[in-house]
Amino acid sequence: MDCTETQILIESYGDGELDLAHSLELEQHLQECATCAQQYQQHRLLSTAISRGSLYYQEPASLRQRIEATLPQVHPQLTAVPQTKTEPPATTQVRGNTRPVRKLTPWHWTGVAVPMAFAASLIFMTKTQTPAPVPLTGTPSTTVVETPPSRLREEQITQEVLASHVRSLMAKHLMDVPSTDQHTVKPWFNGKLDFSPPVTDFAPLGFPLVGGRLDYLDNRPVAALIYKRRKHFINLFIWPSGTNPPSATGAAQVKGDKATPSVPAVLTRQGYHILHWTRSGMTYWAVSDLSEGELEGFMCLVQSPQPGKQNPNGSAMGR
């Protein structure tokens, strides 16, 4: 690739819109050409300056009420009912989201049997403190006959992940250890978990690490890393995949019919996007209200073998 071609493609590359083949060629050129590399740097700087969030106008608190008041009201008393006592009065966004879940999702009921079965099978593990890699293959499928357990299980974890994300944002319990330093966050988990989660700061690539938190998902304590993209938070949950039945990785493929086998599909729930994958023996779940493309970009970063800091021109933002 020469300079002329690079000039044309450099913005699409920076915007994460360039295909993989061209991205690789362009990266090669950026390594060799200082002029183009500088131009790319300019693009990144401008992009970061605009997207860093401080230029984002915050809507007035009264706006939502004002709009809700003008929308046609159909029996308001009903809309209030499913709001359970366990939920704090809380943020409007969540209020809008929680309500229909119970109403619209039949698996919410069918799913009850599964968590029970899993809870039962996992209690053993938690009690004996067995480190992750004990295969549980087959255990749940004996209790649930009609529904593919991996599917239900995926849906159940999806809901847990989503609830955890929403809760972390609304309960002001986003972080236990607020730090942008991966060398502070990583050791913090020592002694709190029976595994050591990989922690990398992707600030140079627009996804700064902002902290860590201990959470509880899939019947076990897990690491939650919090990243930021402009004003959006990403919760990245990590735990050893040994506690999953082997089918769990395949579950994502079942969902995304059109996706190729190795690419996890983005799940959309209540306006949030959720991605999960396994890598090097760890299960990852990322959830955010970012756009699908950006969350996928984030996944690529997390999956990239080199830490973000060493590869600022990496192709990680590519789609």
If binding is defined by CB under 8 A, does position 83 make contact with another protein?
Answer: no
The amino acid occupying position 282 is M
Residue 14 C-beta: closest distance to another protein, Å: 9
Report how far residue 242's alpha carbon sits from residue 240's, in angstroms, rounded to the nearest whole number: 5
If binding is defined by CB under 8 A, does position 221 make contact with another protein?
Answer: no
Cβ atoms of residues 237 and 215 within 8 Å: yes
Cβ atoms of residues 177 and 213 within 8 Å: yes
If binding is defined by CB under 8 A, does position 79 make contact with another protein?
Answer: yes
98-127 residues in contact with another protein (CB under 8 A) are 99-100, 103-104
Complex with another protein: residue 92 or 280, whichever CB lies closer: 92
Binding mask 235-274 for another protein (x = CB under 8 A): ---------------------------------x-xx---
Quote the crossing angle between the two packed helices 247-255 and 149-170, to the nearest 10°. 80
If binding is defined by CB under 8 A, does position 58 make contact with another protein?
Answer: yes
If binding is defined by CB under 8 A, does position 289 make contact with another protein?
Answer: yes
The amino acid occupying position 42 is Q
Report how far residue 12's alpha carbon sits from residue 293's, in angstroms, rounded to the nearest whole number: 14
If binding is defined by CB under 8 A, does position 296 make contact with another protein?
Answer: no
Cβ atoms of residues 195 and 255 within 8 Å: no
Complex with another protein: residue 41 or 278, whichever CB lies closer: 41
Binding mask 6-35 for another protein (x = CB under 8 A): -----xx--x-x-----------------x
DSSP-based three-state secondary structure for 238: strand
Residue ranges with strand state E in the chain: 177-178, 209-217, 220-229, 232-240, 267-269, 272-279, 282-288
Residue 145 C-beta: closest distance to another protein, Å: 31
Report how far residue 223's alpha carbon sits from residue 199's, in angstroms, rounded to the nearest whole number: 10
Complex with another protein: residue 100 or 246, whichever CB lies closer: 100
The binding site for another protein (CB under 8 A) comprises 11-12, 15, 17, 35, 38-39, 42-43, 45-51, 54-60, 63-64, 66-68, 70-75, 78-79, 92-93, 95-97, 99-100, 103-104, 229-231, 268, 270-271, 289-294, 319
